[in-house]
Amino acid sequence: VSDIAHGLHFLHNSKVVHGDIKPNNILVDDNGNALVADFGRSIVLEYGGYLTSHFAGCAEFMAPELHPIDDEVDIDDDGAEERSARLPKFTMETDVYAFAMVAFQVLTDYHPFSRGGKPPIKTQVPVRIRKGERPRRVEDKEKRVTDGLWDLLERSWKADPMLRPEMQSFCICPQLQAP
């Protein structure tokens, strides 16, 4: 988790938004170091380039502002969905939200939004996130998530992106310091 935090912190300091932080995009090298991968949705903030018109992602790792509200989706003449001019944008804050979901899963061995040990129904996750549901603190006999780290995770899941911490907060979190 520390490696991922430092990798994202480096990207954000370089004005790069990853845009697709999820477990499948974290690789582990031969030395056990976690590496952030798949930069296909990345955005260089100071570059006036383009954004992909195809908007998709792994719902349980996407911040609330990335889940379109029903009235923001139009159906064209061919029956295909078209996003309005208010296409959600990936930001450093959406990366922080996604990172906190990944950290939760890695540290607790629980899938975000699972219920009774069962994985979530994918189509229900966006609605649950929009309604404010977030992962619940689980019994942690091994004390992998301290109260301070749990507070940091919860702040990362705030509905208002401006209330989320920066990646630096995870880099300096005592529990995530390398031994």
Residues 6+ apart with CB under 8 A from 142: none
The predicted model gives 131-159 an average pLDDT of 89
What is the reported pLDDT for 127?
A: 84
Q: Quick: pLDDT tens for 53-89.
A: 445 668 889 999 988 765 444 445 555 445 444 567 8
Q: Is 144's pLDDT higher than 90?
A: no
Asked if residues 130 and 78 have their Cβ atoms less than 8 Å apart, the reply is no
Q: Quick: pLDDT tens for 14-56.
A: 999 999 999 999 999 999 999 999 887 778 877 655 454 445 6
Structural domains in the chain (count): 1
Band of residue 12 on the pLDDT scale cut at 50, 70, 90? very high
If one compares 143 and 81, the residue with the highest pLDDT of the two is 143
User: What CATH code is carried by the domain that includes residue 27?
Assistant: 1.10.510.10
AA letter at 38? D
The predicted model gives 143-154 an average pLDDT of 92
Tell me which residue range forms the domain holding 80: 2-176
Q: Taking the model in full, what pTM does it have?
A: 0.83
